[in-house]
Amino acid sequence: MFKVFSKILLVLLMAVAIQNVDAQTVLSDSLYLYPSIMLDGEYVPHIKIEDVVKVGKRRFKNRREMSQYYRMIYNLKKTYPYAQIAKYKLIEINENLKTLKTDREKKEYIAKAEKELRDQFEKDLTKLTISQGKMLIKLIDRETGRTSYELVKELKGGFSATFWQGVARLFGSNLKIKFDPQGEDKVLNELIFLYEQGLI
């Protein structure tokens, strides 16, 4: 049962890794060039400041709620690295695809990348629980801005996307689900910021 669900996750990871994104340009001498804007006749660097999340001391209604919260932290620590790997693999593969000219070269490269991803991640993904798999599906949407269903459809086609959606539904999951930082996933989103800052 878990092996079937892990195959869904592997297909998602491969789908993410083959999508197009824009990578930030870094010069070979590690000098970052920031965009600038004209302000009072002078060019001023325009730098994005990372979001700051202030979270008060969490109060729980009961032990069950506290247990769910700490389980969410545990699952986040297991799954978030995979979402990050998927994001960076996506950038790497996209950059390599830009250098290929023919469709045949691209197909061969995608097949090779798919095999490498399978060899590298299949064993680990089979160890994820169903709840961790559901969280990974949401995190992939958060990191890429696209649902897992959309990514599988673009990689494998509509029939495969529908098939894997059906299998996911058997496990109580949904590949079309979106990450909702202001609603259902508000606590998870706060935990992600805390995780990124090394506070959990």
Whether residue 125 lies inside any domain: the answer is yes
Q: Which of 76-90, 111-125, 173-187 shows the lowest mean pLDDT across its residues?
A: 111-125
Average pLDDT, the chain: 78
For 136, the domain range is 2-22+59-196
Q: What is the structure's pLDDT at 29?
A: 53
Q: What is the structure's pLDDT at 16?
A: 58
Helix, strand, or coil here: 54? Answer: coil
Whether residue 37 lies inside any domain: the answer is no
Q: Is the pLDDT of residue 21 over 60?
A: no
Whether residue 38 lies inside any domain: the answer is no
| Structure-model confidence comparison of residues 137 and 20, the more confident one | 137
80: how many CB neighbours lie within 10 A of its CB?
A: 20
Per-residue pLDDT of 144-155, as tens digits, reads: 777 878 877 776
Whether residue 100 lies inside any domain: the answer is yes
Domain count, the chain: 1
Whether residue 51 lies inside any domain: the answer is no
- Range 156-176 average pLDDT: 76
Per-residue pLDDT of 70-108, as tens digits, reads: 999 999 999 999 888 877 877 787 788 888 888 888 888
Q: Which residues, in sequence order, are CB contacts of 39 under 8 Å at separation 6+?
A: none
Whether residue 144 lies inside any domain: the answer is yes
| Structure-model confidence comparison of residues 7 and 114, the more confident one | 114
Per-residue pLDDT of 38-55, as tens digits, reads: 778 887 777 777 766 666
Q: Is the pLDDT of residue 11 over 70?
A: no
Q: Which residues, in sequence order, are CB contacts of 1 under 8 Å at separation 6+?
A: 171
Which runs of consecutive H residues, i.e. helices, occur in the chain? Answer: 2-17, 63-98, 103-125, 130-144, 148-156, 158-170, 186-196
